[in-house]
């Protein structure tokens, strides 16, 4: 961060009496206490891969100001801040991975003590110095003033929507996947492919109908179709 010049905010009224003198000193001290601010992500150490929580480099969007000629506010951009840990929703080995991307807008909050040693060891540690409420001890919380997403999970009164752009995919991987639904299950797609390396079983308790406007082919080393309970084809 650039150096802070308290005299740049000095007004004639600041020198009117002991009270205003003390008030000016207190205001300048508070100006050096960092709490939270809005920032833009410049870079992220992770690139949507499977990895531990990383860090971001950010630019503070609210400029520093001083009083120029004629009492006008003169803005000076902050320097970039590097290596801020960012927040991930995670419990144990379970997580939702959404890494920040350049251009994202979010909140930077600043620890009350030096967290350098905690960041490096990921364990309880003494502060690395005596600094307090400093820009150097920032942490990033994402998702503020951003635009309309194109890939998302949306929760609403009508249900849950999982949407991905046409050229991307939704991938589900597990040793066992179970879908349970008390109502109707509908799949609508221009093509449907199922590749099963082992055995497959389909049991239908009610009426089943398969309709096709084109050719239907069933192949196998041993294919058997038989009606149950004396039914007919």
Give pLDDT tens digits for 38-67.
Answer: 999 999 999 878 899 999 999 999 998 877
Q: Are 152 and 163 in contact (CB under 8 A)?
A: yes
Judged by average pLDDT, the poorest of 2-6, 53-57, 84-88 is 2-6
- Contacts of 39 by beta carbon, 8 Å cutoff, 6+ apart: 58, 59, 60, 61, 81, 105, 106, 107, 108, 140
Cβ distance 92 to 99 under 8 Å? no
Among 103, 124, 94, which residue's Cα sits nearest to residue 41? 103
If asked whether residues 5 and 107 sit together in one domain, one would say: no
- Is residue 52 domain-shared with residue 19, that is, in the same domain? no
pLDDT of residue 2: 47
Which neighbouring-strand residues pair with 105? 40
Determine the pLDDT at residue 124: 95
Does some domain include residue 69? yes
For residue 145, report the phi and psi dihedrals to the nearest 5 degrees. Answer: 60, 30
Distance CA 41, CA 24 (A): 34
The answer to whether the pTM exceeds 0.75 is: no
Residue-range definition of the domain harbouring residue 104: 34-171
Same domain, yes or no: 8 and 99: no
Q: Is the pLDDT score of 123 beyond 80?
A: yes
Q: Is the residue at 50 inside a domain?
A: yes
Q: How many CB atoms sit inside 10 A of residue 41's CB? A: 21
């Amino acid at each position: 961060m650039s150096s802070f010049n308290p005299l740049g905010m000095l007004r004639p009224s600041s020198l009117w009496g002991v009270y205003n003198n003390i008030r000016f000193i207190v205001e300048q001290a508070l100006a050096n206490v960092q709490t939270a601010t809005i920032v833009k992500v410049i870079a992220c150490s992770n690139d949507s891969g499977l990895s531990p929580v990383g860090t971001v480099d950010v630019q503070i969007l609210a400029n520093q100001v001083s009083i120029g000629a004629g009492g006008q506010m003169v803005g000076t951009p902050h320097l970039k801040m590097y290596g801020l840990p960012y927040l991930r929703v995670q419990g144990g080995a379970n997580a939702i991975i959404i890494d920040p991307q350049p251009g994202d807008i979010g909140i930077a909050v600043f620890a009350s003590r030096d967290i350098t040693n905690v960041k490096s060891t990921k364990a309880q540690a003494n502060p690395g110095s005596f600094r307090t409420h400093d820009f150097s001890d920032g942490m990033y919380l994402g998702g503020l003033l951003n635009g309309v997403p194109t890939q998302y999970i949306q929760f609403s009164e009508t249900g849950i929507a999982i949407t991905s752009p046409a050229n991307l995919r939704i991938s589900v991987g597990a040793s066992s996947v179970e879908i349970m639904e008390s109502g109707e299950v509908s799949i609508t797609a221009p093509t449907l492919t199922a590749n099963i390396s082992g055995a497959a079983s389909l049991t239908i308790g009610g009426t089943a109908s398969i309709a096709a406007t084109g050719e239907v082919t069933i192949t196998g080393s041993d294919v058997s179709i038989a009606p149950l309970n004396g039914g007919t084809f």
